[in-house]
Structure 1
C-alpha cells in the first residue's frame, strides 16, 4: 500500500484546494453524458450560475469543457467576426491574452493600457470606444493583483451600445458579481479558482443581447467545440453535441452550491479579514502592497512586493520542502512580488497559519504567527 501523502498547502492564485463536497462528488460512479440525471444536474448548475453572476432570468449559462482560457476564447469565437473593431483593456498578462485571442479571430484590436500595478482608467475607455463592437476587460488581473473598475467601464460601454466581455476568473464566486445590473454581456470564470472545484470546466454566462449578436453573425463560428448554438443544443434541447466531463459537472455543482449557501457577501468578508491578517503579519518583515491605490487592489490575489534582500527563488523552494506552494511574479514582476491566492478553500486561516509557521523557521522571523492570529481576532497589533 502506498503511504498517504501530506495535504499540500496551495497558496497560489489557482488552482485552489478542492472543496470537500466537490472531492466527494468527483468520486461518484460514472453515468452517461446524455443521462436524464445529468441533464437535471445541469439545469441546477445553470440556475446557480445565474445567481453567481447576477444575470437576467433569461441569460444562457453553461459549462465549457476546459479552463478559464477556453471561456475567454469562446466569447471571442462566438461574438467577434473578421474585421470587427474590439477594444481590449490590457494592464497585465491576461488582458494581453484577450487581445491576442481577439486578433486571432480576425478582430482589429485597439488597446487601452495602464502601467503594471495600476487599474484601467475608464476615461481612456471612453476616449477610444467610438466605432467598436465590443469592449473586453479583465475584472481581476491575476498577474498583478489589480482590480479593474468594471462597473464604471460598464456604464461607459452601456451608453455606447456595444458588447462588454468580462473575465471574472478571480472575482466571480468570492464576491458579488452583478452582470445584469452592470450591463455585462459575456462573463466567464474557471472552476479551479474561486469555486475550489477541479480544473476542467469554465462556467460562462451570456446575455440576451450577446445571443442576438451571435444570431446575426455573417459567418459560421470558427470554433466548433464551443459554438453557442451547439452548446444550447446540449444544455437546453438535450441533444448530443460532445461528451462533457460528467464527474467534473458533479464536482462543480457541489462546489458552486457550497459557495452560494455560504453567501457571496460572506465570502467577500472572509477574504477581507484574511488578507488584512496576512498583510499585518508580513509588513514588519518589509513586505508591502505592490498595488499602491487601495481601491485597485484585487482582494483575491494579494500581490506583495518582496523585502529587500529576500531571495524569491530560494525562499519559495524552501517553502516547498514544507509542502507550501507560493507563486511569484510573471515577466517584469518575477523576483519582485509574491501573488498569494485568497480564493475558495485557500481563503482560510489554516493554510496561511502554516505559511507563517514556515516563514518563522526559514527567516528566523519570530512573531509572525502571533501577529497573524491577533489580526484575525481584530486585536491591537504591536511590533
Structure 2
C-alpha cells in the first residue's frame, strides 16, 4: 500500500498537515539572521502558552530524548543524586540517561502500574538534587501524577524534571502551576510537526543549579542555549535544522488557530471514544490506575485478547492501511496501542476502529461488526 494512503495511528510520528510539509520547502536562510530570529521568537511565544509557563523556552535540533539528556546532564553531575521514577519504557530511559551523569536512585514500579506517592515521598526525604518523571508513559498508556510529584519535589527542595514529550500540546499540562523546573516535548507528537526537534522549558531554579555542574553535555548544554537565546537577536548555539523550524512554526500556528482548550478537548474526546469502542469489544485496557493516575489521552494501550498475539493485530492493521503500535520489550505481543495525538480527527478514529473490528472478526474474537464503531460514535456525537 502506498505510504500516502496509510493512516498513522501510533504514538508518534503523527500525520503532518500539508501546509506544514510545504513550509519545509522554503529556501534556506542564514541561521544568524533576523529572519531566523523571528521564527525562533514566534515559536517560543506560542510554546509558552502550550507549556503554560513564563520560564525560558529553547528549541534543540534533536529528538525528545535529546531534550531529556539536556535536562538531566545540565543540572546533575558526579555526586548528585537523581531519583528516577520508572513505570514504563521511557521512565527506564530517563533512569539510564541520568546514570550517565549522576548517582541514580531508581524508583521502579512494574510497567503499567501506578506510582506509589508514599514511596516517592520516602525517597525524597533521603535527599536528592532532582527527580525525573515521565508524565504520559506511552509504552503503557498511563498518565502519571505530575502535579502531586511537583508538590513533593518542592517540599523537599528537589528539581522536578518532567518528560512531557507526549502530553504537551495534547493534554492539560501546567508547567508553572505544577512546579516543573524542566519540561520537555518532542516535535513529532502532539504538536504534529516532523520528528527532529525537542523543546525544553527551564526555570530560574534549574539555571541556578547548573552553575555547580562542571561537566555538562556539550551539544545539549542548556546554559549555552540560554546564552544564545538571551541575545537581542535570539538564536541557537549551534546550527539549527532550519527546515524543521519552518515546519514547527507552521504546526504551532495550527495549534494557535485551534486554541489549546479546544485541542485538549478534542484529544480527550477521541481517546475516550477509543476506550469506549474497545470496551464494547470486551478488550481490557492495559494500565492499572489508582486515585492519582489516569488513562492517557494521547495513546490507548490495550491487552491483546486471549489467544491473539498483539504483534499479529499490529501487522493485520498495517495490511489494512492503519499503522498502530505493539508492545515494547517485555510487553511485546502482550499489548497493542492506538495513538490519538496531533491533528487526528473523529474520522481517523472511526476508520481505525472499523478496521480493528474487521481484524478481530477475521481472527475469530468478535462475531459481528459495528458495535465498537457505534460505541465510539456515541462518544463523539455527545459533543
Same fold? TM cut 0.5: yes
1:24 corresponds to which residue? 22
State yes or no: 1:40 paired with 2:11. Answer: no
Note the 1:144-155 alignment, pairs <5 A.
144-155=140-151
State yes or no: 1:90 paired with 2:86. Answer: yes
Note the 1:356-367 alignment, pairs <5 A.
356-364=353-361, 365-367=368-370
Tell me how far apart the structure 1 counterparts of residues 111 and 221 of structure 2 sit (CA, whole Å).
34
- Structure 1 pair 35–273 and aligned structure 2 pair: CA distance change class (3 A): same
- Which stretches in structure 1 are left out of the alignment for 5+ residues? none
1:303 corresponds to which residue? 301
Whether the 8 Å contact between 2:161 and 2:182 is mirrored in structure 1 is yes
Secondary structure of residue in 2 paired with 1:174: coil
1:143 corresponds to which residue? 139
1:227 shift after superposition: 1.4
Whether the 8 Å contact between 1:233 and 1:239 is mirrored in structure 2 is no
2:74 corresponds to which residue? 78
- Structure 1 pair 139–198 and aligned structure 2 pair: CA distance change class (3 A): same
Note the 1:69-218 alignment, pairs <5 A.
69-105=65-101, 107-129=102-124, 130-214=126-210, 216-218=211-213
1:234 corresponds to which residue? 228
1:5 shift after superposition: 5.2
- Structure 1 pair 135–217 and aligned structure 2 pair: CA distance change class (3 A): same
Query: TM-score by structure 1 length?
Result: 0.91
Selected match of 1:15 from 13, 16, 19:
13
Tell me how far apart the structure 1 counterparts of residues 151 and 355 of structure 2 sit (CA, whole Å).
46
Query: TM-score by structure 2 length?
Result: 0.91
Secondary structure of residue in 2 paired with 1:64: strand
Whether the 8 Å contact between 2:58 and 2:201 is mirrored in structure 1 is yes
Whether the 8 Å contact between 1:45 and 1:62 is mirrored in structure 2 is no
CA deviations 1:2-42 (Å, max 9, x no partner) are x9753320111111111333222212222121121110111
Tell me how far apart the structure 2 counterparts of residues 306 and 285 of structure 1 sit (CA, whole Å).
12
Secondary structure of residue in 2 paired with 1:136: strand
Aligned-pair Cα RMSD in Å:
2.0
Whether the 8 Å contact between 1:190 and 1:202 is mirrored in structure 2 is yes
Secondary structure of residue in 2 paired with 1:189: strand
1:170 shift after superposition: 1.2
1:352 corresponds to which residue? 349
Whether the 8 Å contact between 2:71 and 2:222 is mirrored in structure 1 is no
